[in-house]
Amino acid sequence: MSFSSQNFSPEIVRALDECGYQKLTPVQQQAIPPARRGHDILANAQTGTGKTAAFSLPIIQKILDTPKARKPKVARALMLAPTRELAAQIAQNIKDYTRYVDVSVAAIYGGNKMSSQVNQLEKGVDILVATPGRLCEHLEQGNVAFSTLDFLVFDEADRMLDMGFIGDIRTIMNSFHHHPQTMLFSATFSSQMNVLAKEILVKPKRISVAMENSTAETVAHVVYPVDEDRKRELLSELIGKKNWQQVLVFVNYKENANMLVKELKLDGIKAVLCHGDKGQSARRRALAEFKEGKARVMVATDVAARGLDIQGLPHVVNYDLPFLAEDYVHRIGRTGRAGQRGNAVSFVSRDEELTLVQVENVIGQRIRRIELAGYEPKPRDAYLDKLNTKPAFKGRKGRTNNPEPDQAGAERRARMRNMIKNRNKAPTKLKG
Ligand code: AMP
């Protein structure tokens, strides 16, 4: 199904063509026709499916079809996103789609100056993309009003709830005087989400491009059971021996992310950081280096990586399993896109075995465990003894618990550096 067959303005079709969009993705095929007819939409769509165009193109076209003069402090469409990165990305996509038409878009989110955002809102805007927290500040200060809002979108609604934005969402909803056409997109559905969906949607068309809480079929999932204090070494070895060239590594703690990047660099693997303490421009720079292949590894925390356009990767590694099993779906959504094979690897220590079961329940499949020679976790009894003598460590302290004597560590590192230098050699198989 092509975009020109969907009655979009030729200027939009031309812009989409320049973006490399010829055919509608499945979520676009399902969402665009009912959205154009004015229905509310409840969409179960994973990251990387083309959902931004699915909700924004019908709105852009409707704005073009029913032109209204812009009024100060008024927006015609509001799109809510959980993170500033996602908000910026949605706004950028819309700018790309509206290159040849007169539709204005503004993005407002925390971390940028209020005053420049106030100036943008003062002029009035067709499409406003915002994070809930910053938007509430503007609402409270009277910088924007939604009494005549025509369109409302919740993108990655599950993440907004996880991040505790429910109060802000209610404040925003209370500022409406009528029901705008509303679309809610989410990769996962919890009971809290279903309650929210019932409150905000009227007779929605339900669409789904994947099983609920499922991950793409093109992703090969594997679990490597490994002790916490051997994970870093295993990561370097896998990258080197399997000759992985582009790897997104998820960690739960910022401290682990910092430590891991330093350690990978010592092993001769160029790695960049993406976590909440890094400013937005630093995160974007890291992402650019990673995408351009200047860095082989990007180490990220969930919230920081959220919204960054880093789909279509060959390898995603869960260095730690996520605290929330649903986040596994988000993380893995970065790989295995557009029919390409993706590789989703999880390092699972004894502490994380329960979380693994929860992950398997969420994705509805059992993940293959492979014990790698040399990395077998300590037997459960030894692990329990260790727990009784020392508190389980998390984060930076892990390094000091590393049982590897200095000399052996130096030798291992030298071996690793040599191996990584031969980065373009054919991948060798790890025994496992
Ligand atoms: P999204 O799920 O909106 O983040 O989109 C994921 C990626 O797919 C982005 O890089 C989009 O630019 C791209 N994309 C969206 N729709 C299409 C399409 N119809 N054809 C090709 N690429 C697309």
Decide if 151 contacts 181 (C-beta within 8 A).
Answer: yes
Mean pLDDT for 66-84 is 94
Mean pLDDT over all residues of the chain?
85
Please state, as a whole number, how many other Cβ atoms lie within 10 Å of the Cβ of residue 202: 10
- Which is the closest atom of ligand 1 to the Cα of 21? 20
Q: Looking at residue 77, what is its pLDDT?
A: 98
Q: Looking at residue 334, what is its pLDDT?
A: 79
Q: Looking at residue 397, what is its pLDDT?
A: 38
Looking at per-residue pLDDT, the higher value among 216 and 376 belongs to: 376
**Over 80: is that where the pLDDT of 296 sits?**
yes
Q: Looking at residue 395, what is its pLDDT?
A: 40
Q: Looking at residue 340, what is its pLDDT?
A: 65
The residue nearest atom 8 of ligand 1, judged by CA position, is 50
Q: What's the CA-to-centroid distance between 373 and ligand 1, angstroms?
A: 40
Q: Looking at residue 393, what is its pLDDT?
A: 42
Q: What's the CA-to-centroid distance between 270 and ligand 1, angstroms?
A: 28
Question: Beta-strand (E) ranges in 199-306?
Answer: 205-208, 219-225, 247-250, 271-274, 297-300
**Over 80: is that where the pLDDT of 390 sits?**
no
User: For the residues of 334-362, what is the DSSP string, one character each?
Assistant: TBS-TT--EEEEEEE-GGGHHHHHHHHHH
Q: Looking at residue 403, what is its pLDDT?
A: 38
Q: What's the CA-to-centroid distance between 47 and ligand 1, angstroms?
A: 10
**Over 90: is that where the pLDDT of 123 sits?**
yes
**Over 90: is that where the pLDDT of 57 sits?**
yes
Pick from 8, 49, 60, 310 the residue to mutate for probing ligand 1's pocket: most ligand atoms within 8 Å of its CB. 49
The residue nearest atom 1 of ligand 1, judged by CA position, is 50
Lowest model confidence (mean pLDDT) among 23-32, 290-299, 389-398: 389-398
Mean pLDDT for 387-395 is 47
Instruction: Using a cut of 0.85, tell me whether the model's pTM lies above it.
Output: no
Residue 251: alpha-carbon gap to chain centroid: 14
Decide if 408 contacts 262 (C-beta within 8 A).
Answer: no
Q: Looking at residue 172, what is its pLDDT?
A: 95
Helix (H, G, I), strand (E, B) or coil at 207: strand
**Over 90: is that where the pLDDT of 323 sits?**
no
Q: What's the CA-to-centroid distance between 336 and ligand 1, angstroms?
A: 14
The residue nearest atom 18 of ligand 1, judged by CA position, is 21
Judge whether 3-208 and 219-421 match in fold: yes
Q: What's the CA-to-centroid distance between 45 and ligand 1, angstroms?
A: 12
Domain parsing of the chain, residue ranges: 3-208, 219-421
Looking at per-residue pLDDT, the higher value among 306 and 227 belongs to: 227
CATH number of 3-208: 3.40.50.300
Q: What's the CA-to-centroid distance between 423 and ligand 1, angstroms?
A: 31
Q: What's the CA-to-centroid distance between 19 and ligand 1, angstroms?
A: 9
**Over 50: is that where the pLDDT of 319 sits?**
yes
The residue nearest atom 4 of ligand 1, judged by CA position, is 48
- Which is the closest atom of ligand 1 to the Cα of 24? 19
The matching CATH number, chosen from 3.40.50.1820, 3.20.20.80, 3.40.50.300, 3.30.420.40, for 219-421 is 3.40.50.300
Number of continuous H segments (helices) and E segments (strands) in the chain: 18, 14
Q: Looking at residue 65, what is its pLDDT?
A: 96
Output the ligand 1 site: residues, CB below 6 A: 20-21, 23-25, 28, 47-53, 309, 311
Q: Looking at residue 294, what is its pLDDT?
A: 93
Q: Indicate the pLDDT class of residue 251, thresholds 50, 70 and 90.
A: very high
